[in-house]
Amino acid sequence: MTTLTRRLATVAAALAIGLGALTACSSDNVTCSTSACTVTFDRGVEAESKVLGVEVKLISVDNGNVKVDVGGTTVSVPVDGSAEAQGFTIAVQSVTDSQVVVRVQKS
């Protein structure tokens, strides 16, 4: 393999990895790395996002627990706590009157 061919292959691989990380998120309310996404849900609306290949929906907030649907599995996660669902760790980072911030990470 020539030096030019190796360089082109390296550049192509780097672009593929970069584009893969960018496509892991589906909307403006999501920030992602290669294995985790932070989703900021607005409360009072039907809130959902597709992250890391799975649909994540905010179901409700009640008495310090957040119900989240991850790929069809509903889990109850305490504020500042975490739970497992569909091969992901779901952690609630914050809850306010207007927003819920959830981190979704591959387990």
Per-residue HEC secondary structure of 2-52 comes to: CHHHHHHHHHHHHHHHHHHHHCCECCCCEEECCCEEEEEEECCCCCEEEEC
pTM to 2 decimal places = 0.71
Q: Is the pLDDT of residue 8 over 80?
A: no
Predicted confidence band at 91 (pLDDT cuts at 50, 70, 90)? very high
Kindly give, in sequence order, each residue whose CB lies less than 8 Å from that of residue 93, ignoring residues fewer than 6 positions away. Answer: 38, 80, 101, 102, 103
Asked if 67 contacts 76 with a C-beta cutoff of 8 angstroms, the reply is yes
Residue 27: the pLDDT is 59
